[in-house]
Amino acid sequence: EAIELITNSQKDNSYLNQYEGIWVLAEQREGELLNVSIELIGEARKLAKKKDANVTAVLVGNNLSEQAKTLINRGADKVFLLENKELENYRTEPYTQVISDLIKEEKPEIVLLGATNNGRDLGPRLAARLDTGLTADCTELDIDSEEEILLQTRPAFGGNLMATIVCPEHRPQMATVRPGVMMELEEDSNRTGEIIKIEPEIEEKNIITKIKDIIKEPKASINLESANIIVAGGRGVGCPENFSLIEELAQTVDGEVGASRAVVDEGWIQKEHQVGQTGKTVKPTLYIACGISGAIQHKAGMQNSDYIIAINKDPEAPIFDICDYGIVGDLKEIIPELIDEIA
Ligand code: FAD
């Protein structure tokens, strides 16, 4: 063990200097860029400032020149556009092959992906192929001012603490990042950048999976991530029938209805309304939390809201620690009064 420690401490890490630049693996579905990719470019720009680095996006698919230009307009300095008919829709094997080949050749220092279904599938595959680490589901990124390495923060131990993870000895440093957390940049059509088109050959062994059909989920009736106002109800609402109070308040303020996991688990409302660590991450202008205690897993999904109003009958409820305005009392009395006042 001692010998191993000495060997590690004397290990030549100079190869790390060959890696530079921040990459975002942009994601598209049927030619439409996902918001998380735009958010990641915004975040990469922020990190690039601290490292004096360039931001490169990688876009994989077919016939995506317009989308590559959009990535430049949103903050990328350069886009690698990998196009081939076989790459039109996401498949693990060919995407892993073409992206890992490009990373091996170009040696980026940091690679970011969205923590989407595809990103969660692709990220670990790439990391294993490149013999490096990956931090999944990050909610915060930064650059260490002394070591200049990527600080990757994510909830750990069921959300009870935030862990900051580093990858000191391998490159690239890789992270998947939750959608809806990072700030995107405004589109600037005057931005210029380089688009490098590549038509990679796909190895036969990597196209053994064929897509027979794509069956779309019915479109969610709500879009919490882009809502400006959210009125969310928790177990304090008391029973499913009382949820009409939350809906009425949401209607009055022209907002969407959110919920804690407790009420989703109770079956009072569908999962698509759940906010938090295992639900949606939201950042509306106004979040009104009604009868929600403010568990760390709930806060993880809404604490970046601009203004938070909490209604809770328990003055000690943790939600009051993060709210801008707190109302202590019974929501069944307060909400009707609020509706009367606003309407
Ligand atoms: P409670 O904690 O029971 O709080 C109810 C609140 O209502 C209390 O503060 C009470 O004072 C108040 N109240 C009661 N009656 C009234 C009234 N008449 N008027 C006003 N206030 C009243 N939770 C999430 O929300 N989202 C997640 O994504 C999520 N993911 C999780 C992931 C993991 C791995 C784990 C372990 C847990 C997760 N949870 C999540 C669950 C979380 O820990 C809490 O259990 C949950 O958020 C509690 O929901 P609640 O605040 O509605 O209920």
pLDDT (0 to 100) of residue 14: 78
Q: Is 293 annotated as a binding residue?
A: yes
166, with CB counted inside 10 A (0-12, 13-18, 19+), is middle
Q: Provide the whole-model pTM.
A: 0.69
Two tokens at 49? Answer: 């400032």
301 appears as a binding residue in the annotation = no
- Residue among 246, 265, 266, 264 nearest 256 (CA): 246
In the DSSP assignment, the letter for residue 100 is H
Cα 235 to ligand 1 centre (Å): 6
Q: Give the β-pairing of 150-156 and 140-143.
A: antiparallel
pLDDT in tens, 137-166: 999 999 999 989 999 999 888 667 889 999
| Atom 8 of ligand 1, residue of closest alpha carbon | 293
**Average predicted confidence (pLDDT) for the chain:** 93
| Contact assessment for residue 284 and residue 306, using Cβ atoms and an 8 Å cutoff | yes
Q: How far is the CA of 232 from the centre of ligand 1 (A)?
A: 11
pLDDT (tens digit, 9 = 90+) per residue, 167-203? 999 999 999 998 888 999 999 999 999 999 999 999 9
Partnered with residue 197 across adjacent β-strands are 81
Distance CA(35)–CA(171), nearest Å, equals 26
Strand order in the sheet with 256-259: 256-259, 229-233, 286-290, 307-312, 325-328
Contact between 257 and 273 (Cβ < 8 Å): yes
Decide: residue 244, CB within 10 A, 0-12 exposed, 13-18 middle, 19+ buried: exposed
Cα(227) to ligand 1 centroid in Å equals 21
Output the CA 177–ligand 1 centroid distance in Å: 25
* Amino acid residing at 77: D
The complex scores an ipTM of 0.99
Residue nearest to atom 38 of ligand 1 (CA): 297
Mean pLDDT on 111-125? 96
Residues with CB under 6 A from ligand 1: 158-159, 234-236, 238, 260-263, 274, 276-279, 291-293, 295, 297-298, 301, 311-314, 317, 330-332
Q: Which residues of 271-295 are buried (b: 16+ CB within 10 A; e: fewer)?
A: eebbbbbebbbbbbebbbbbbbbbb
Tell the residue nearest (CA) to atom 18 of ligand 1. Answer: 330
